Amino acid sequence: MVFYEISLESLVSILIAISSLNRVRDLLKSFNRVDLLIYAHLSKDSLHKAANSASKQIMAAMGA
């Protein structure tokens, strides 16, 4: 098992990033299939940016 030593600030960043991803997931679940396709087409870039940002925050907080 691998243990990481992280600061409280890093832990908060990880939790915020996970929360952001959960909000995106919940938003996507709330659409029916046609709405989802339209929404995904219109906001594909913003969804990718949100996911990339959250991923980078998690990696930075873990020191990767």
- 48 is a domain residue: yes
* Token code pair at residue 35: 């709405």
Residues of the chain below pLDDT 50: none
In-domain check, residue 46: yes
Q: How many domains does the chain have?
A: 1
Q: What is the pLDDT of residue 43?
A: 64
Q: What is the pLDDT of residue 31?
A: 66
Task: Give the per-residue pLDDT at 58.
Answer: 75
In a domain, 39, yes or no: yes
Q: Are 41 and 15 in contact (CB under 8 A)?
A: no
- Residue 3 belongs to a domain: no
On whether residue 24 sits in a domain, the answer given is no
pLDDT at 34: 64
pLDDT at 35: 66
Task: Enumerate residues 6+ apart whose C-beta is below 8 A from 60.
Answer: 10, 13
> What is the CB neighbour count within 10 angstroms for residue 62?
12
Question: Does a structural domain hold residue 54?
Answer: yes
The residue range of the domain holding 52 is 32-64
What are the backbone dihedrals phi and psi of residue 2, each rounded to the nearest 5 degrees, phi first? -105, 130
Interatomic CA distance for residues 55 and 61, integer angstroms: 10
